[in-house]
Structure 1
Amino acid sequence: MTDRTEYAAVGDLEFAYETFGDAGDPPLLLVMGLATQMLAWDEEFCELLAGHGFHVIRFDNRDIGLSSHLHEAGLPDLGALLAGQSAPAPPYTLVDMANDTAGLLDALGLESAHIVGASMGGMIAQQLAIDHPQRVRSLTSIMSTPSREVGRTRPEAAAALFLPQPTDPEAAADRSLQLYRLIGSPGYPLDESRVADLGRRSFERGNDPAGVARQFAAITVSPDRTPGLRELKIPTLVIHGEDDPLVQVDGGVATADAVPGARLVVIPGMGHNLPPQLWAQLADDITANARAAETGSPASA
């Protein structure tokens, strides 16, 4: 597999990114979620989007993969933060991660892009649209929520957040399988070979449980984005699995309700992953939303 990784400096941080398609096409930036490297935007899915006429960019957020890790920030007290107790403030919030994303656009010489975010990436994408609306041509928020108080995790899926950390690539492959058996899509067979490979490759690129904890702390302390979302005037698509146990579907409903004119797509049988069987539909929906932004016409259903 060809290594297409490039690096961009944003302030004191460095971000690993990869591109697909023609650089002359409209840019589409993919933002991934908690504890998840850009590899989860599968290359085949990225190529599919590129085939729809986009210059596709995927990247590792701070504290994950090959991007900068804030090791000196240490381990946050998640128990205290989740309980609302007094605790040292986390080193960053979702606002900072949204600023990272805007900074990456700067580093790539892009005034704006179509923004697609999944899970925590959807939260970052929402915050980017609120804080930097001129940078967002269209917004797609997938399996996400405007607030951690909405779409709460089902008890049976909560175990996914506390699986033992892997110590080698094969343990990481097993952990990835355990994770997606808990939170994946019950309506679509799990591609176990692909999922195991993702876990293995992610471990080999960089395994940093403390970095994941810092990302989770950023979610925990970030306020409800609903008031900011109500002010958006950006073509917005919200996609959510009807059977998502990690961020339940009311998170998607609340996001769509908040953004004026947003289109909500709820997919039966979809959980908290992006099954290959749905890639064509997802790409079509994302493309329709982006085209609506470029033409000024409503996205077709």
Structure 2
Amino acid sequence: MRYEGTVYRPPSEAGSLIIQLTIGCARNTCTFCNMYKDKKFRIRPLEEVAEDLEMARKYYSHIKVRRIFLADGDALIVKTKDLLYILDKCHEYFPEVERISVYGAPKDILGKTPEELKQLKDAGLDMVYMGLESGDDEVLKEVKKGVTSEEMIAAGIKVREAGMILSMTIISGLGGKKRWREHALNSARVISAIKPEYVGFLTLMVEPGTELYDQYNRGEVELLDPHEVLDETELFIRSVDAEGTMFRANHASNYIALGGTLNGERDKILAQIEESRRRSKFRPDIFRGI
């Protein structure tokens, strides 16, 4: 396999074969993200991607590859016919594969017809990871996400109606001290409308090389402290209505680890929050990471 630059994948894809279908992120405007700043976006030639799959098969000749993740930031921007070709190659070289997944930017999802998404699902694209970041339109505008909350809802519903598994992420603290309530309440509103299979909380980290980093150093952004992050998370949990959605806040960026299934384990999650608040024992910033 040939990789260009740093390769990112969701935590749950730690054991997956990662194949770069695209390089970088097509939009790359989010003020908080430094993941693809060192790359110029492009779609790799399909022949190269197929060669990587063939190389991977030879390398893992005695290992069953159960999961494949097609990187980088927004593989769904690739034309449907080309995606179908790569999915076919995945199954040709790895007939044992049980799940193929991608990051799906909302605009790329909305750019596919329902029929195209169903084609991709039938061809073996099983799971899409979509970054909500926030359900609050003002926060989305400030961080230059490039979509509205209603577009987020429409994209999420399209993925679910196609029969794919949908995992969404929210960045706790992204609204800062100014809009933490709106961030929590509107994020709960969006998740309630979509009811994805998974929703994960990350906690905001200000990374060098980002626009947010410069804003923070100019005093334009006030970050939440760990107790305020708990308050925001509690408001989200009390407000969300997404029966069956698995909630997780166990990313390396989080101050504490939380988990449970909505709505049935709401009280369990709230008890975890209250216990953490009482103990005031949080992961030190030096041990937090992306």
Q: TM-score range by the shorter chain?
A: 0.3 to 0.5
Q: Which has the larger radius of gyration?
A: 2
User: TM-score normalized by structure 1?
Assistant: 0.32
User: TM-score normalized by structure 2?
Assistant: 0.33
Greater RCO structure (CA 8 Å; 6+ sep): 1
